[in-house]
Every structure is written in structure tokens, then in C-alpha cells.
Structure 1
């Protein structure tokens, strides 16, 4: 571990809002499965937190782990069950106070299992990652936490990351701030740096307002990320912010090139919105009279229209429709109901009986 110089800091943890906490919850739920799946056929894995922070926060009056400590706890559990494997964690944090705080929190996590390597880097994330990519031709399977605006790691660099095999990223797209800065000539150069050029200035969505402008901006941002799968989760302002809760604060974008990665992230994100399947969080979930969640009937209708007269393995069907707001249990339920209504048949391949439905089981649509 890289040591940081001793400087006085305020011992009180920074306050964490609900809309920031959700990012940590997603990471906490995703990383264990990521390490288990990739670690089953890779001896070495890497995790990069490009804006590591202080390692601890105050949330609802109690201390909670920051993303680096979540990663360390996940790594310890993984290596306890996978002796002989290696997990390398890189925490990039330029702020001196955050470095010292994070160093203390990392110290509390010891002793470290054999195979756990931790590097606390006092560097600019852009310079560190750029140098790493130039020096290391082949990374082990890696997961990156990235903020391309607040902690500049430009999209061209992000795309270099995603070109590496079995590499994925959770990207913080700070829409509210970026949208404000796009209209301010004094800071528009920050967007040039993020995108790597000034082509964004010529886009028609900048002439629009409200939801049309937001959707255009989001889709333009996604179009610049060179990954096959880009799944996003909308985060709105919560009651602690002095902004209407209906407005978007930021988007979390999961970028990957493998269908199993996006399907896993969708499973993680699905129950965390204000209502299940919305992928939209404001921290104000209080129950609703009528749920706007996508309904299983919608999935049945879609599958009937798209796959009429075709046969397809269950997993392949889910991969081809990865961008629908439904998860595995809903696909399974919808398909079994359709079988009961004689709309399709299921031929077991992976399952041992016709009551199961998974993997390569064939679904034959009439």
C-alpha cells in the first residue's frame, strides 16, 4: 500500500445523501457475483476506483463504507473461498485529506488475505490510467469506477479501457452539472475535454429543453462510449437537495461487452428504483396507488410478436432482449404462462425436467 503524508483532518465522516448511497449499494451487490463468475476461470482480477474518496461516510447518523472499503470486503470474502487467486485493487485519490482518511479505513480492514494487493495512488486519475494503459498491454479482467467529468477521465481514455478484453465500467454521468455547463461559455471547455472534441457543440438537442434535451444529451453520451452494452440507471435529486425531485441529478451507466455482464447488472439494479423495474431512484419511495412498473403481460406480448414461429435457447432470448426492463424470473414466469396457454413449447436441454427453464433450454414459439 502506498503511504500518504501525515496531515491533520476532520475526524467526522462526510455526509452521504440517499442518491449517492445508491451507487455504493449497486457496487456492493454487483462485485461479489463479478468476482465469483470471472474468478472461476481467471486467477487474477483487477478493480480500479478512479475517484476513491475518503473510504467512510455518515449516512442517516451511522458510518457506512465508501466504495474502496466495499471492494476490499468483497475481495477478502472472494479470496477466502479462492485461495491461490489474486485480486489487485487500485484506489486513485488526489485529495490529501481523503487519502489519509482512506488509508486509516484500509488499515482497519486488515489483516489482508494472501493474494490481495492494494495500491492507494496519490495521482490524477486521467494521468494514472493513461500511463497504465500505455505501460501494460494486457490487463487482467477488470472493473472500473469512472467519473468522466467531476474527476476527469475522458471518453477517449474510457474507450481505451473498454477495448481491453473482459473489462467493464460503472460510469457516473453527471447530467445536471454537465447540462448547466453546456450553456456556459466560460466552462464549455470542460465538456470538450470529457468528449475529447467539440463535436457536442453542434448537436441539435442543445436547441431543445426539458426531457427532449435530456434524452438527446444522454443518447449522445452513450453513443460515444464504445461498448456493446450500455445500461443506465437514473438518479434524481432527493429531499436534501435544493432542486426539484423530478429533475435528474446523474445517471449511472454500466458499460460492458459481454451479455452476461449486462444481465447481471440489470438483476442488481432492477429492485433498487423508486418502483421495481423503473431503474429510476429519488430516495422517496413511499408506496404508490398505481405502479408504473413494466408488467409481465407487456413482456409476453413483445416475445410473441418478435419470436413468432421461431425457436431459441432461453439464455440467448434474454441476451437478445437485454435492454428490456425485465429480469430472469419474469422471463421464466412469462414463458411458462405462455406454455400453459399453448402459445409455445419448451424442450429441456440444460434442465433435467420440463418443469425447469434455464440455460440452453429451447423455447419454441408457435
Structure 2
């Protein structure tokens, strides 16, 4: 409450100062004074909302489950979880094999071509946003050549996902918990405009993956309660967290959205989706995939909705992507990529620009993509 009061006082002073200038210039009128006051109030609201976004992402819900919070409150309210998500992401393939042979795809974002934020030490949290969006008038989810055949995503207007993805890591802690001698693990924080259920629901949730060795898979199989996604000589298992139902947001409103993920050893992993003045979260126990012990890289982007599909934007679209990364020490991350970087198999049709890293109060990487 103190920060809101400070914003209010500061902007009343600002409005009074602007009105004083108009009076001094002989330009004062009730309409101009009202406009100055409205402008000050709008700026105050914008700053307060930004401060709230920063606060809410650092205050995850106390337990696993589904939650909602509304500006200006930072108190999470437990809500009923949505239906079980039938969503399944795809793991990137290095090459695209088709009946016509091996195809080289354009350097568009996704499927192993993306920028990744490399933290100097284990990542505690990350948040992705789009501080600048221009020329965007439409987006359509489409299927594209993927993994030797065709992708199997959810298609149509405004079908996309926001994905905050970790690195694929060999974690002795997670492998031991699963009863494996060796494995690799991966975790995704996801906002999907369609959970592939009936009826379709926009949802936010966490998707966990484990890739056991052949010998471990043959002797142990997938962890109890996990789905078997093995194929093409790759052994893979995945499970989704509880999912929180959220609004369906048109791609033209990407600039109003943020997606963050956090982990806490002996605590919970949490995904938080903010849409303007509303925040939604879903949490699971960190022991699900032992994320807090191994997370060092983060990938964030807007891509197709499941199955290796693609988010296709209208020509002339330009996005600025910001990915803030917290390793608990305030260290500056580094840009890795775009070649052979990123872990998701979904893509978009935007070409990557340059990437820069910054430190300070919110260490981050930032890059552009356009077509």
C-alpha cells in the first residue's frame, strides 16, 4: 500500500506542476487541466502495474495447485484447476527429413534455432515478455514438416504457445529419484491458447520430461503416472502439472503478456502468466523433476501450439523479446545461439535479429525477431 500512496502523491504533484505551467502561459482551461490530471493518473497506473508485475512473480503461491491474483493485491487466491491438459510439446530435431530428402529450413525461431539465456549459476527464476510489438495484425497456427513427417499441432487463428523452456540436463538427483542409472531431464513452463481438450481451454501449466537410457527404459520404464512418448529410437516420458484455466488472448495483445517460471529446492516449481491486471499460476512439487538442482539455461518465445507446429505471423511483424533471468546473485546472463540453441520443437516464422545481455537490477537478454 505504501508504494501505491507514493505513486499517487508523486502524480498529484506532477499534475499540479503541469497545470501551473498552463496557467503561467495563459493557457489554463478546465479541459486542459483535466487532461493533465488524466495523463498523470494513467502514468501512475502504468508504473504501479509494472511494480505489481515485478512483485507477483517473486511471490509464488505457498503450495502446489492453481491460483489467481488481481492488481493491486499480491495475495494468491486458490481456484479450481482446469481439466487435464492433453497438450504435448515436441522436442527439437536437428534436421528435417521428408520424402524429398533432408531439408534445410529458414533461420526462423524454434526447433533448435533460438537465443538462450545462460545463467552463471543455477537459475532461480526467469520471466519472458515482449516490450515492443509492431506490425502484428494476425497469427495462425499451422503444421509444417517436422521429424521426418508432418507436425501434429493445434491449428487455426490465434493458436500459439508462450514457452519458457529449461535446458536438457543430465541430473543425477532426478535420475536417482526415478530409479535410473542415467537420464536427461527437461522442463517447460507453458501458456497454451488451447489445451487440446474437449472443450478446448486456454491454460497455463508445467510440462516435465525425462529421457532414460535404453537399458533403464527397458528395465524400469517410465516413472509411475508419467506418459510414454518414446519413438524414433528416443526413449521419453512426460507428465503435466495441474493446469490453471486462463483467458484466450489474441496474438495481437502479446505486448500485455508475461510468462515466468521459478523453482525452489524442497519447495515448488511455479509458472505464472500475467495478462494486464490479472495473474494466474500453477505449481507442482520441485521433486517432480528436481529442477532447482540443475536449471542453468532458459529459452522464451512465442511458437506453435504443440506437436512441432508453427506460429505464423503476418508479414511485417516485429517483436522484441526480453528474458530476465535470476540466479539469486544478480549476475548478468549471456546470450547463447541462435544456431543449435533452444530445446523446443515448435517454431514461428520470424527471423532472429541480434541479442544483447544486460545486468543491473533485472539481468536479462533481449533480442528482436521479424519477417
Q: TM above 0.5, one fold?
A: no
Bigger RCO (CA 8 Å, 6+ sep): 2
TM bracket (short chain): under 0.3
Higher strand share: 2
